[in-house]
Amino acid sequence: MKVIILGGFLGSGKTSVLLQLSRYIVGDTPENSTKVVILENEIGEVSIDDSLLKNNGYAVTNLFSGCVCCTMSGELILNLRKIRDDFNPELVLMEATGVAFPDNIRTTINQSLPELEVYITCITDAKRWLRLLRPMEMLLEGQLAAADVILINKIDMVDSPTLTAVEASIRTFNNGAEFFKISAAQPINPIILKTVLNPEQEIQINE
Amino acid sequence: MNSKHQHDENCGCGCHDDHHDHHNHSEHGHQPEPHHHTPPAIMVKTHDTSLVGSYRLTIETCFEDAVTILSEAQKKIAAEITSLGGIIGHIKANLTAAGQSCMISLTEDESDLHYHNSHRCQAEGVAIVFGIVPEQLTAILSTILGPYLNN
């Protein structure tokens, strides 16, 4: 069972990417959902994103009212064990909260379930990056630091010089990840989705 | 999600903070049993440096108008937070409409169907922000969402 953690700051587009990943995996038949389980973590007292996913036909396990990178780490392990025992899917797509440190989640999983492969894709918001950088630097850096894949999202909402500056800034935090520029409001290149799902295969793409 | 839910001692609904522990009723001389209660319309909590304000609304109008009302309310919330020097993390809500209803009435063998369109929408939302204090976020949510909060 492989776990893909989708991390990134609030509003960066994690749920939009998750929807496209889900469609890519199961095609147009959500009944074919035995291969993948979606695990949602939301920090509020109400769950928003899982409603969107459920309305798109997917079964979703939701951990809300806390963050699995810290206060709810025990619940995360319990749920992953249950998912493995009940469904044994090939893949768990886990959307972290927008304030989570994905590497903390990976560490938690590795400590309790070392047999699982865990990869991190971090989604960043090109439009807000430069505005958020100074006040949110520690959080943004912590979210990006251990990512295997980084998606720079909302590139349709910034001009070329801004995008160049955003990418250069992001690369100061993590220059070792696979980088892709996307607009999750549009269909994402399937090769990019395949890379997110299989970061260990180091698929090359000409952007 | 139902506005009234069953829960046990592991529930993360947060409602337990405001009343005594109903899950250990042995001191009262009766068996513990699941209970129902309505969560507060606004809940504001802190998580590290972030403030998380959750809200539940009922908007008594058609879906299209409710979308406009909620969208405008979210913009006002964002503007207030920004004017106080805060940073918007994410303000989002899920709005649903009750839609069509039908009352089916049967006496002997006569079945009457009474159709009507419900003009009631429910919303659940969250505002995750930085740089202001919980009292400020509570006041902003209460003021702007006040007419629609579930009480």
- Report DSSP state, residue A195: H
Out of A9, A46, A132, the one facing B1 most closely (by C-beta) is A46
**Cβ–Cβ of B87/A47 closer than 8 Å?**
no
Q: What is the full DSSP assignment across B74-95?
A: HHHHHHHHHHTT-EEEEEEEEE
**Cβ–Cβ of B93/A64 closer than 8 Å?**
no
Closest B-chain CA to A132: B87
Tokens 């609030």 correspond to what residue? A10
**Do A43 and A96 meet the contact criterion of CB atoms below 8 Å apart?**
no
**Do B150 and B38 meet the contact criterion of CB atoms below 8 Å apart?**
yes
Domain chopping of chain A, boundaries:
2-195
**Do B144 and B116 meet the contact criterion of CB atoms below 8 Å apart?**
no
Full domain range(s) for residue B23: 1-38
Q: Tell whether B29 and B55 lie within a shared domain.
A: no
| Pairwise pLDDT comparison (A13 vs A35), residue with the higher score | A13
The predicted-structure confidence for B35-46, as pLDDT tens digits, reads as follows 556 778 899 999
Q: Tell whether B45 and B32 lie within a shared domain.
A: no
Please choose, from the candidates A124, A156, A149, the residue with its C-alpha nearest in 3D space to the C-alpha of residue A200. Answer: A149
Number of separate domains in chain B: 2
- Report DSSP state, residue B36: -
> Which of these ranges, A185-194, B39-48, B88-97, has the smallest mean pLDDT?
B39-48
Q: Quick one: tokens of A159?
A: 């001009």
Check CB contact of B118 with chain A, cutoff 8 Å. no
Q: Tell whether B27 and B49 lie within a shared domain.
A: no
Q: Tell whether B16 and B63 lie within a shared domain.
A: no
Percent of chain A residues past pLDDT 90, beyond the cut: 62
**Do A76 and A32 meet the contact criterion of CB atoms below 8 Å apart?**
no
Q: What is the mean pLDDT of residues A104-112?
A: 94
Banded pLDDT at A45 (limits 50, 70, 90): confident
Determine the topology of domain A2-195 in CATH: Rossmann fold (3.40.50)
Out of A44, A52, A139, the one facing B126 most closely (by C-beta) is A44
pTM of the model: 0.82
CA distance A14 to A82: 24
Q: Tell whether B15 and B84 lie within a shared domain.
A: no
| Pairwise pLDDT comparison (A42 vs A107), residue with the higher score | A107
Q: What pLDDT does residue B27 have? A: 43
Q: What pLDDT does residue A207 have? A: 47
The predicted-structure confidence for A134-176, as pLDDT tens digits, reads as follows 999 999 999 999 999 999 999 999 999 999 999 999 999 999 9
Q: What is the mean pLDDT of residues A107-114?
A: 94
Q: Mean pLDDT across chain A, nearest whole number? A: 88
Check CB contact of A134 with chain B, cutoff 8 Å. no
Q: Tell whether B96 and B138 lie within a shared domain.
A: yes
User: The dihedral of CA A119, A90, A95, A169: what is its sign?
Assistant: positive
**Cβ–Cβ of A45/B45 closer than 8 Å?**
yes
In the sheet that A2-7 helps form, which strands lie side by side, from edge to edge?
Answer: A60-64, A36-42, A91-95, A2-7, A117-125, A149-153, A178-181
CA distance A110 to A196: 19
CA distance B49 to B141: 19
Q: Tell whether B30 and B51 lie within a shared domain.
A: no
Check CB contact of B56 with chain A, cutoff 8 Å. yes
**Cβ–Cβ of B89/A11 closer than 8 Å?**
yes
Q: Containing H/E element for B143?
A: helix B134-145
Q: Tell whether B105 and B116 lie within a shared domain.
A: yes
Q: Tell me which of B56, B87, B91 to substitute to probe the interface with A (most A C-beta atoms closer than 10 Å).
A: B87
Q: What is the full DSSP assignment across A91-128?
A: EEEEEPPTT--HHHHHHHHHHH-TTSEEEEEEEEETTT
The CATH code of the domain that includes B86 is 3.30.1360
Q: Tell whether B76 and B123 lie within a shared domain.
A: yes
Q: Tell whether B31 and B51 lie within a shared domain.
A: no
Out of B1, B53, B90, the one facing A98 most closely (by C-beta) is B90
Please choose, from the candidates B120, B132, B134, the residue with its C-alpha nearest in 3D space to the C-alpha of residue B3. Answer: B120
Q: Tell me which of A9, A42, A46, A54 to substitute to probe the interface with B (most B C-beta atoms closer than 10 Å).
A: A46
**Do A13 and A68 meet the contact criterion of CB atoms below 8 Å apart?**
no
